[in-house]
C-alpha cells in the first residue's frame, strides 16, 4: 500500500470504529484522487456501503477491490459482512475464517519487521535517523489497521459460530478480539460475552473461576463508592434494588413478578433500575407498586451514582454476563451489599459482587464451586416461575400425541448452541431404543435454509435416522407446538430454564441430566421444586433409560399431559408468596451480617 494512501486509511479506520460511514466515503474519495484504481479506496467504499445498509453497492465495490487485488483483506472482509446480512451461513464462516487467518499472519509479520528493525539499534548502537522514524510510524499504522481488520473479522464471525452451534469457538474469537482494542469499555464487554458463551460447554471449576476473576482487570481504575455508615442499621427498613436490561420481553421476565408483588412493604422498599429497551412488558411491570429508575444510555459511573444517591442497601443484578450486562455499574459498588442471580447461571468473577443466589440442588454445600461470590441458597429453588406477562399462555393439549400417533415424539426447543455432540449421541441412542420414535428440534438456526442444511449434515455424520428428525424454525406460536411433543429432552451442560418451565406448563414432562455445577443443574432444581424429581437423571445412561422407560408407559405420559399444569401451579416452583418470603429472610440475614462487620 502506498504511504500516501496509508495515511488516509488510518483516519478511515477510526471513522469505522466511531460508526461514521459517511466520513469513510469522504476518505475513500481522497484516496481515489491519489489512485483511482486503489483497492483500498474501493474496499473502504464497500465497507461504508455495508454499514449504510446498501448491500448491493457493498458487494459491487468489494468485488472491484478484489479484481484489483485478489487477496485484499478489507475487500474479503466486506464480502463476509455481506454474506452475514444475506444470512449465508456457510459463506460468511468460510470467508471470515480465511480473513482471520491472513490478518493474524499479516499482524505477526508486521510486528516481526518492527522488532527486527529495533534490534538494529540494540546491536549496532547507531542512532535513529529520520528515515528510521518514518519507517516505524508507517509500520505502526499498518499494525493498527491489521489489528482493526482482525478485530472486525473475529467479532463478526462470533455471531455465526454461535448460531451454528459452536459457542466454544465463538467464545475464543471474542476473547481474542477483547485483546485487540484499546477501548477498555468495549474490551470488557467482549470479555464478558466470552465468559457468557463459555457456559455452553463443560470446563473445570478452576478454569471457570480464574477466567471470571480476570474480568476485574477491566475495572482497575474504578474507585468503589464509600457508603455512609449512619445507614448501617441491622433492623431498619431495607431498600432493595433490582437492576437489569431485561425488564422487557425477555426470558427473565417470567421470573420477575414474584420479586415485585407481595413483598413485605413494611420492612422492605423496592426500586427497579432498568438499563435496556422498553416495550409492552416494561409497561406491565411498571404497574407493580415499586419504584422505577430509567438508566438507559447512562454511563456506568453515572448510573452507579444514581443508585448510590438512592441509598439502596442491597442491589440484585439479574443479568450477570448476559447481553447488555450491568456488571460495569456494579463495579462501582453503588450499594453496600450486591448480589447476582436469576438471569445468569455462573459466577460473575467481579470482586464487588458479594453473593450469588442459588439453592441446595444447584449448589449443594458439599459440592466444589467455581463461584467467587458467597452462595445464598433459596429454599427450594432460586427461581419462581410466573408466566403470562409476555403473552397469554395457551391451554395445553390434554391428550398426549402418542395416543393418536402410536409412536413417541421427543422434542427440544432449546437454543442450538446448547446442543453438543455428547448430547446428540444420547439422543441417537434414545431413538435407536425406541422404535418408530421421532425427534423435533425447534430453534432459530432452523429458520434459515442453510441453517437446516448445516444441522442435517451434522446429524448425518453422526448416523442419525434423518427420516425421523423434524427441524422446525422459530415461530411465535412455539408454545402451542408443545402439544405435538410427548416428552421434552433437556440439554446439558447448559440446561433449560425458561424453556423447561414452559414445557412443563404446557403439560410436557422434561427429562434432564443433573450435572456438576450450578448451571448444569438448573433444570434439576426446577423439577425438584415442581415435585418431579423422577425426571432427573444422574448419569448419561440414566438419561437415556428414563426416556426409553417413559416411551413404554403411555398412560404415565398421558397423565403428565393431563395434570402437569395444575401440578406445577400448586408446587413451590410457582408459589410466589413463599418464594419472596424466603428471599426476604435471606436479604435480612445478609444485611445483618454486613452491619455486624
Residue where a domain stops, chosen among 216, 239, 259: 216
453 with 514, same domain: the answer is: yes
* Preceding peptide of 380 cis, ω within 30°: yes
Helix axis angle, 39-51 relative to 3-17, nearest 10°?
A: 10
190 assigned to some structural domain: yes
523 with 434, same domain: the answer is: yes
395 assigned to some structural domain: no
166 with 65, same domain: the answer is: yes
557 with 592, same domain: the answer is: no
Q: Which of 314, 378, 383 is nearest to 345 (CA)?
A: 383
- Residue whose grid cell is 425458561: 498
Q: What is the mean pLDDT of each run of 10 residues along the chain (597 residues)?
A: 84 93 95 93 97 97 97 97 96 97 94 75 61 76 94 97 96 98 96 98 94 98 91 95 97 97 96 96 96 97 98 98 97 98 96 98 92 97 96 92 95 97 98 98 95 96 97 95 98 97 98 95 98 98 98 96 97 98 98 93
What the block records as the C-alpha cell of 560 is: 403428565
Q: Would you state the pLDDT for residue 280?
A: 96
The number of helix segments (H) and strand segments (E) in the chain equals: 22, 13
What the block records as the C-alpha cell of 464 is: 442419525
183 with 38, same domain: the answer is: yes
**3-state DSSP call for residue 355?**
strand
pTM higher than the cut 0.85: yes
Q: What is the CATH number of the domain that holds 284?
A: 3.40.50.11380
581 with 559, same domain: the answer is: no
- 132, exposed or middle or buried, with CB in 10 Å at 0-12, 13-18, 19+? middle
396 assigned to some structural domain: no
Number of domains in the chain: 3
567 with 439, same domain: the answer is: yes
10 assigned to some structural domain: yes
339 with 487, same domain: the answer is: no
112 with 158, same domain: the answer is: yes
Q: Produce one character per residue of 79-91: b if its CB has 16 or more CB atoms within 10 Å, e if not.
A: bbbbbbeeebbeb
223 assigned to some structural domain: no
DSSP state of 530: T
The CA-CA-CA angle for residues 85, 86, 88, to 5°, reads 110
390 assigned to some structural domain: no
HSE toward the beta carbon, residue 579, CA cutoff 13 A: 25
What the block records as the C-alpha cell of 55 is: 448491500
What the block records as the C-alpha cell of 92 is: 460468511
Q: Would you state the pLDDT for residue 129?
A: 67
423 with 314, same domain: the answer is: no
Instruction: Give all strands (DSSP E) within 90-142, no chain letters.
Output: none
**Whole-angstrom distance, CA of residue 55 vs CA of residue 60:** 8
Torsion, Cα 129 133 135 136, to 10 degrees, reads: 140
225 assigned to some structural domain: no
- Domain coverage including residue 544: 401-574
Residue where a domain stops, chosen among 164, 191, 216: 216
Q: What is the CATH number of the domain that holds 534?
A: 3.40.50.2000
307 with 158, same domain: the answer is: no
Q: Would you state the pLDDT for residue 549?
A: 97
378 with 427, same domain: the answer is: no
* Helix (H), strand (E) at residue 155: helix 130-163
**Whole-angstrom distance, CA of residue 580 vs CA of residue 379:** 11
**3-state DSSP call for residue 202?**
coil
Q: What is the CATH number of the domain that holds 177?
A: 1.25.40.10
The CA-CA-CA angle for residues 411, 417, 419, to 5°, reads 45
**Whole-angstrom distance, CA of residue 213 vs CA of residue 369:** 14
Q: Would you state the pLDDT for residue 588?
A: 98
Kindly list the strands in the beta sheet with 337-340, ordered across the sheet, starting from the edge strand earlier in the chain. Answer: 291-294, 268-274, 238-244, 314-317, 337-340, 355-358, 374-377
Contact 318, 343 (CB under 8 A): yes
Amino acid at each position: 500500500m502506498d504511504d500516501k494512501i496509508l495515511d488516509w486509511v488510518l483516519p478511515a479506520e477510526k471513522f469505522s470504529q466511531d460508526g461514521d460511514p459517511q466520513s469513510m466515503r469522504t476518505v475513500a474519495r481522497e484516496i481515489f484522487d491519489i489512485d483511482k484504481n486503489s483497492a483500498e479506496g474501493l474496499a473502504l467504499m464497500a465497507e461504508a456501503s455495508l454499514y449504510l445498509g446498501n448491500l448491493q453497492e457493498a458487494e459491487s465495490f468489494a468485488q472491484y477491490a478484489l479484481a484489483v487485488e485478489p487477496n485484499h483483506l478489507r475487500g474479503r472482509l466486506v464480502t463476509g459482512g455481506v454474506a452475514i446480512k444475506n444470512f449465508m451461513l456457510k459463506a460468511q464462516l468460510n470467508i471470515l475464517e480465511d480473513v482471520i487467518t491472513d490478518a493474524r499472519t499479516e499482524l505477526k509479520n508486521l510486528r516481526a519487521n518492527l522488532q527486527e528493525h529495533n534490534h538494529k539499534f540494540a546491536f549496532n548502537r547507531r542512532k535513529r535517523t529520520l528515515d528510521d522514524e518514518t519507517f516505524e510510524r508507517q509500520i505502526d499504522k499498518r499494525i493498527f489497521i491489521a489489528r482493526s481488520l482482525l478485530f472486525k473479522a473475529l467479532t463478526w464471525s462470533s455471531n455465526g459460530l454461535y448460531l451454528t452451534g459452536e459457542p466454544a469457538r465463538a467464545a475464543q474469537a471474542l476473547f481474542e478480539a477483547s485483546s485487540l482494542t484499546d477501548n477498555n469499555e468495549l474490551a470488557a464487554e467482549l470479555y464478558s460475552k466470552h465468559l457468557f458463551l463459555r457456559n455452553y460447554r463443560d470446563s473445570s471449576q478452576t478454569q471457570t473461576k480464574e477466567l471470571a476473576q480476570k474480568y476485574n482487570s477491566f475495572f482497575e481504575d474504578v474507585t468503589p463508592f464509600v457508603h455512609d455508615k449512619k445507614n448501617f442499621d441491622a433492623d431498619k427498613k431495607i431498600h432493595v434494588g433490582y437492576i437489569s436490561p431485561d425488564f422487557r420481553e425477555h426470558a427473565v421476565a417470567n421470573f420477575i413478578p414474584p420479586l415485585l408483588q407481595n413483598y413485605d412493604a413494611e420492612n422492605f422498599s423496592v426500586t427497579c433500575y432498568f438499563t435496556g429497551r422498553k416495550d409492552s412488558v416494561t409497561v406491565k411491570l411498571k404497574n407493580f407498586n415499586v419504584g422505577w429508575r430509567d438508566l438507559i444510555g447512562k454511563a456506568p459511573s453515572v448510573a452507579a451514582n444514581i443508585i448510590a444517591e438512592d441509598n439502596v442497601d442491597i442491589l440484585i443484578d439479574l443479568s450477570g454476563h448476559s447481553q447488555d450486562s450491568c456488571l460495569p455499574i456494579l463495579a462501582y459498588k453503588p450499594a453496600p451489599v450486591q448480589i447476582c442471580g436469576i438471569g445468569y447461571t455462573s459466577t460473575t468473577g467481579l470482586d464487588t459482587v458479594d453473593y450469588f443466589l442459588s439453592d441446595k440442588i444447584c449448589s449443594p454445600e458439599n459440592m466444589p464451586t467455581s463461584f467467587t461470590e458467597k452462595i445464598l441458597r433459596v429454599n427450594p429453588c432460586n427461581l419462581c416461575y410466573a408466566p403470562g406477562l409476555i403473552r397469554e399462555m395457551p391451554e395445553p393439549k390434554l391428550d398426549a400425541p402418542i395416543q393418536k400417533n402410536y409412536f413417541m415424539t421427543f422434542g427440544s426447543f432449546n437454543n442450538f448452541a446448547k446442543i453438543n455432540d455428547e448430547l446428540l449421541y444420547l439422543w441417537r441412542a434414545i431413538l435407536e431404543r425406541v422404535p418408530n420414535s421421532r425427534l423435533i428440534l425447534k430453534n432459530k438456526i432452523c429458520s434459515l435454509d442453510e441453517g437446516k442444511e448445516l444441522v442435517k449434515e451434522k446429524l448425518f455424520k453422526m448416523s442419525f435416522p434423518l427420516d425421523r428428525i423434524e427441524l422446525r424454525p422459530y415461530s411465535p406460536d412455539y408454545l402451542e407446538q408443545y402439544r405435538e411433543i410427548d416428552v421434552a429432552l433437556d440439554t446439558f451442560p447448559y440446561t433449560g430454564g425458561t424453556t423447561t418451565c414452559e414445557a412443563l406448563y404446557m403439560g410436557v414432562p422434561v427429562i434432564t441430566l443433573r450435572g456438576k455445577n450450578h448451571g448444569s443443574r438448573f433444570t434439576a432444581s426446577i423439577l425438584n421444586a415442581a415435585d418431579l424429581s423422577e425426571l432427573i437423571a444422574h448419569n448419561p445412561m440414566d438419561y437415556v433409560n428414563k426416556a426409553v422407560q417413559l416411551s413404554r408407559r403411555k398412560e404415565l405420559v398421558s397423565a403428565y399431559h393431563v395434570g402437569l399444569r395444575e401440578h406445577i401451579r400448586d408446587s413451590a416452583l410457582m408459589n410466589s408468596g413463599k418464594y419472596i418470603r424466603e428471599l426476604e429472610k435471606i436479604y435480612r440475614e445478609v444485611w445483618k451480617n454486613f452491619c455486624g462487620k
